[in-house]
Amino acid sequence: MGKGFFHVPPAVNEPVKSYAPGTPEREEALATYKEMFNQKMDIPLYIGNQQIKTGKTRNMHPPHDHKHDLGVFHMAEKSHIETAIEEALKAREKWAKLPWEQRAAVFLKAADLIAGPYRQRLNAATMIGQSKNIYQAEIDSACEIIDFLRFNVEYMTQIYDEQPESDEKAWNRVEYRPLEGFVYAITPFNFTAIAGNLPSSAALMGNVVVWKPSSTQMFSAQVLMEVFQEAGVPDGVINMVMGDPAMITDTVLKSPDFAGVHFTGSTGVFQNIWAEIGKNINNYKTYPRIVGETGGKDFIVAHPSANPKEVSTAISRGAFEFQGQKCSAASRCYIPNSIWNEVKSYVEEDLKSFKMGSPEDMSNFITAVIDEKSFDKLASYIDQAKQDKDAEVIMGGGYDKSKGYFIEPTVILTTNPKYTTMETELFGPVVTIYVYEDEKYEETLHLVNETSIYALTGAILSKDRYAASLATDILQNAAGNFYINDKPTGAVVGRQPFGGARASGTNDKAGSKLNLLRWVSPRLIKETFVPPTDYRYPFLGE
């Protein structure tokens, strides 16, 4: 299964368009946004070769304009999930045997379709359905998913090329087979790229997939399915189902043919899935692969030598881009007393310059959080901080859901390093800052390491190389992606493979071949050219 005589196109990162005023891409994106905003979508289940409309539907609304109707998506019953599993297993018979270069061609075409005719359609769907500004949409629903698709093909060929040594007596080779069964992909609202990558990465390796996208990401999920179909993904290879999450997951996990779960979402849900797999373990034909990326309580630590302006920018971008709804978003910061006042003034300056509103207005840096449930949770923590004696809301703190779910970028200052918002994942535009005494830098690093159950991302800003090295050592288990002199967000496929440990997931590094290796079951074949005809070894001689 090596590359043989085939040479795949080299994977390079998709260039990010600027969308600066007056650029063609800005005008195209705006026109597509306006066109799609007024469409009424009727999104079916995709099962095998059928698009099923059950009649049981859920409405879709833009988070920044929740009274506007975007249409509906259809909800599955248990029988639909059972059919999706059957259709996936039926499709596996051909898909698993398809030569690797044929599978590669399908997903390379999908990348080119997104880079070209689908780029602004997928961006607009992400802006409308998930309230991303144009730049956040571009780096997600265009560049990152394109990079996933292209780099995964390159990683696949690297995996297939890894073969054991042979000699003149025997030929040893490894087949990287797809898993025996089907893969269950569960994807979140916050990244269209993740929604596309979790099912497609498993499918690229020859697997078949039952995919459950988030109910708050359905607008762009529909466009992804359009891309997969046009790219030539065969019927039944990726089946998209929506409905009651508990029912879908329960039905999937009870199937003897369940072979793995590819998950991004909340820690609690992932832990429940893991426990349920354990309960059903005697029922499965094979031990399922469990791959998940969950929550984070991501940190920024500034050393006294850090540049205050660099620290403030890391906070402003790291905490507030996409309203803090990134798994990697900075949500707890540790700033030395000697530079705090300067950092504070720069952050205040940034926040005063932020514009908030609909992503249709491309001068807006901040838009809405995803839904009312998220809004209410964030508002309750902000209100609590306004009352608590060991916390103070020093910037922002306002919110309004009359038109959209708008939360002002909010900075909480606490005197308690274990204050609730230093430990609890909020998933919104709220960052909490603890100011430490300069001479307690090393002590503070240990505090950072011990504060959170999560270990996804973190950043250290320092001009002192010894201080940076110390942080790298003490915080070695505190973050799967660790940044020196940068914000803790913005991992790029092929450059910063992404994932964390502890309660943040299995750290299988999306955007690397480590992740793809989870979706294959290797078979070693040894072929002896001239088999022996005598059992006796030389040591038996007299």
d(CA 368, CA 132) in angstroms, rounded, equals 8
d(CA 249, CA 212) in angstroms, rounded, equals 9
d(CA 313, CA 486) in angstroms, rounded, equals 9
Retrieve residue 311's tokens. Answer: 């620290």
d(CA 379, CA 371) in angstroms, rounded, equals 12
Q: Answer yes or no: are the C-beta atoms of 80 and 47 closer than 8 Å.
A: yes
Q: Which amino acid is at 174?
A: V
Catalytic residue among 327, 360, 408, 425: 327
d(CA 267, CA 273) in angstroms, rounded, equals 10
| 143 assigned to active site | no
Which helix (H) or strand (E) covers residue 514, if one does?
helix 513-516
**Nearest-10 Cα torsion for 135, 141, 147, 152:** 160
Task: Report helix angle 465-474 to 441-451, nearest 10.
Answer: 30
**Residue 400: burial class (beta carbons within 10 Å; 0-12, 13-18, 19+):** middle
SS3 328: coil
SS3 68: coil
Say which residue the tokens 């308690």 belong to: 416
Q: Answer yes or no: are the C-beta atoms of 513 and 159 closer than 8 Å.
A: yes
Catalytic residue among 14, 138, 293, 360: 293
DSSP 181: S
Closest CA to 14 of 131, 104, 139: 139
Kindly write down the DSSP assignment for every residue of 79-135, as one continuous string.
Answer: HHHHHHHHHHHHHHHHHTTS-HHHHHHHHHHHHHHHHTTTHHHHHHHHHHHH---HH
Give the total residue count for the chain: 542
Give Cβ neighbours of residue 122 (< 8 Å, ≥ 6 apart): 114, 141, 142, 145, 192, 220, 223, 224, 227
| 333 assigned to active site | no
d(CA 38, CA 58) in angstroms, rounded, equals 18
Retrieve residue 44's tokens. Answer: 């079916």
Residues taking part in catalysis: 293, 327
